[in-house]
Amino acid sequence: MTTNPYAWIDDALATIHRAGWYRSVQTIQGRAGAVVEMDGQRVINFASNDYLGLAGDDRLIQAAIAATQKYGTGSTGSRLVSGHRDIHQQLERAIAALKQTEDALVFSSGYLANLGTVSALVGKRDLILSDQYNHSSLVNGAILSGATVLKYAHCDAAELQQHLEQHRDRYRRCLLLTDSVFSMDGDLCPLPELLALAETFDAMLLVDEAHATGVLGGTGAGCVEHFGCTGSTLIQVGTLSKALGSLGGYVAGSATLIDYLRNRSAGWIYTTALSPADTAAALTAIAIAQQEPQRRTQLWQNVTALKQALTQKFVASPNVDLKLLPSESPILSLQVGSPAIALHLATALRQAGFFAPAIRPPTVPTSRLRLTLMATHDKTHIDPFITALSDNVTLI
Ligand SMILES: *Cc1c(COP(=O)(O)O)cnc(C)c1O
């Protein structure tokens, strides 16, 4: 009798279906924006990471076209061999200038920047302390590094300190890992406390600014700027694919850190350089993010408006089982009682013309509608959303 070594995949999928965890892609037609087209229907988009509304901006598009015409579509090699172009260096200078660090390094994605950085900084003799809600790329970077990994309770600097007191001495290097804006809840890490602990315990600190870059801080430099910690010794990772509307990731920090990564980070060395189009689009986005602070002003006005409306309508109401999770970012999560309720709400809203996705375990511990705001949203997007949510919340 022959057995099929791939048969387990069907079983695994069946298990995923039974748990209500099955997921599939949804097609958006046409250009990115606050309003998009899905299945021929116009929908107001509360699911995008394009916080400043730049992914569909004509200036980024023109920059990508011009770079493609000048350099071609592919960068044709890794950065250390044949893939390096002057625009990569310009982009790295622009990131370092935004972050006010000595240097920066661009990776093919934010995910890869975390894998490539964490695994280059620590190894078997070292200790990683990681927030329990950290992004998958930090979690997997930690595993890849071979270091001992201990999690601490979400944003709990006291528990982190206990771990450091108990374990730090037995390891060579120590690396603290945290998202700066947590991607599923929208709350912020306690950065000043983490910096102080890193200094006391001779530990490195890596913060993932994926959802903060372009969004937080007066110049859009991120959470580090927001907390007044610009110039502190730490490692900042982030992405070019959220508020900056392009694709790619980066690390910003000291000149020696970046020089070391260029020589030791496998996730940077052994992969093809960022495409000319993505590089040029990101470079243009950084300039716009700095020259047009009104985008951030508008974004935060939208956040305040939606937060106030949600709080007044639902969260303050004893009859409604919706909880707005604490957030200090354009990510607003409405926690509901079960995966089924989250799906029901998302489906009903979608029929009413709103894209507000249900996020369920195993991505997050509790089911929720996760809403993200953009600078290009306005009252005509937010007010009807509140009405549609009211219409459907009475049904749960
Ligand atoms: C999106 C995200 C990443 C990955 O960035 P990509 O450029 O999309 O690969 C890393 N960390 C966090 C916290 C993120 O939200």
Q: What is the pLDDT of residues 92-114, one digit of tens each?
A: 999 999 999 999 999 999 999 99
Alpha-carbon torsion (248, 287, 75, 89), positive or negative: negative
AA identity, residue 142 = A
Q: What percent of the chain has pLDDT over 90?
A: 88
Ligand 1 proximity of 211 Cβ (cutoff 6 Å): yes
- Give the integer Cα–Cα distance in Å for 303 and 308: 9
Ligand 1 proximity of 110 Cβ (cutoff 6 Å): yes
Ligand 1 centre distance from Cα of residue 182 (Å): 11
AA identity, residue 95 = I
At 220-248, the pLDDT tens digits run 999 999 999 999 999 999 999 999 999 99
Contacts of 240 (CB under 8 A, 6+ apart): 106, 110, 246, 247, 248, 249, 250, 278, 282, 285
Would you say domain 23-52+293-393 falls under CATH 3.40.960.10?
no
Q: Where are the domains of the chain?
A: 23-52+293-393, 58-291
Please tell me the predicted confidence (pLDDT) of residue 363. 85
Supply angle C-alpha 56, 57, 63, rounded to 5. 110
Please tell me the predicted confidence (pLDDT) of residue 1. 65
Output phi, psi for 386, to 5 deg. -60, -40
At 175-214, the pLDDT tens digits run 999 999 999 999 999 999 999 999 999 999 999 999 999 9
Average pLDDT of the residues in 124-148: 98
Ligand 1 proximity of 116 Cβ (cutoff 6 Å): no
Supply angle C-alpha 364, 295, 207, rounded to 5. 40
Q: Write down the mean pLDDT value for the chain.
A: 95
- Give the 3-state secondary structure percentages of the chain, helix then strand then coil, rounded to 5: 45, 15, 40
Q: Are 51 and 243 in contact (CB under 8 A)?
A: yes
What is the position in ligand 1's atom list of the atom closest to the CA of 138? Answer: 11
What is the position in ligand 1's atom list of the atom closest to the CA of 211? Answer: 15
Ligand 1 proximity of 208 Cβ (cutoff 6 Å): yes
E strand or H helix that includes residue 190: none
Residue 28: band (very low, low, confident or very high) from pLDDT cuts 50, 70, 90: very high
Ligand 1 centre distance from Cα of residue 226 (Å): 20
Residue 7: C-alpha distances to residues 3, 4, 19, 382 (Å): 8, 5, 19, 47
pLDDT beyond 90 at 362:
no
3-state secondary structure of 148: strand
pLDDT beyond 70 at 318:
no
Would you say domain 58-291 falls under CATH 3.40.50.720?
no
Ligand 1 proximity of 245 Cβ (cutoff 6 Å): no
CA atoms within 13 A on the CB side of 371: 26
Ligand 1 centre distance from Cα of residue 111 (Å): 5
Residues in the chain, how many? 396
pLDDT beyond 90 at 91:
yes
Please tell me the predicted confidence (pLDDT) of residue 22. 85
Ligand 1 centre distance from Cα of residue 228 (Å): 23
Ligand 1 proximity of 250 Cβ (cutoff 6 Å): no
What is the position in ligand 1's atom list of the atom closest to the CA of 181? Answer: 13
Q: What percent of the chain has pLDDT over 70?
A: 98
What is the position in ligand 1's atom list of the atom closest to the CA of 134? Answer: 13
Q: Are 281 and 64 in contact (CB under 8 A)?
A: yes
Residue 395: band (very low, low, confident or very high) from pLDDT cuts 50, 70, 90: low
CA atoms within 13 A on the CB side of 150: 18
